[in-house]
Structure 1
């Protein structure tokens, strides 16, 4: 079971409270987690990554186990603690402004 914490605006969009739990068979990577998340919550398609290129949106970041995973290749395996459900994968909306 993979645990995913979404930013407030995406939780509202997907109509979920708290963490999202996903069952993923096989390799657990950012790509497989996002595929499962968008499959379970189709309304999130295009909000975290571009629908056509699959690239992460500019103001979205990924964190797990106190590490920024945002620039890792999408098929890089996630940390073991995330794979076994000990730690959540955090999807965070970056802040910008002046």
Structure 2
């Protein structure tokens, strides 16, 4: 199982505390599983039409930014094994 850490506003939206566990070995598979379990997430992390990551959302795992990796690239081994989480992070912006 892949452990997923969602930002606080998305955890509140899906009414969960802490991490979520889903099956998936790629970014796309994890996001597909999240959206299947929590349909309210559709369109919040990825654009509904294109399926592309939203501009102010980032993905991290094993202290690496995976935001620009292809959606079908394999996740790092420790993430797939459940030792490390896959993190969805809202990017900061402003001025």
Q: TM-score, normalised by structure 1?
A: 0.95
Query: C-alpha offsets along residues 14-58 of structure 1, whole Å, 9 cap, x if unaligned?
Result: 11100001134xxx1000000000000000000000011000000
Q: Aligned to 1:13, what secondary structure does the other structure show?
A: helix
Q: Figure out how many residues of one structure are paired with residues of the other and give that number.
A: 95
Distance in 2 (CA, whole Å) between partners of 1:77 and 1:52 is: 23
CA-atom RMSD in angstroms: 0.6
Q: TM-score, normalised by structure 2?
A: 0.98
Query: C-alpha offsets along residues 61-81 of structure 1, whole Å, 9 cap, x if unaligned?
Result: 000000000000000000000
Correspondence for 1:14: 14
Within the alignment, does 1:85 sit opposite 2:94 as a pair?
Answer: no
- The gaps in structure 1 that reach 5 residues or longer are none
Is the contact between residue 45 and residue 57 of structure 2 (CA under 8 Å) also seen in structure 1?
Answer: yes
- The gaps in structure 2 that reach 5 residues or longer are none
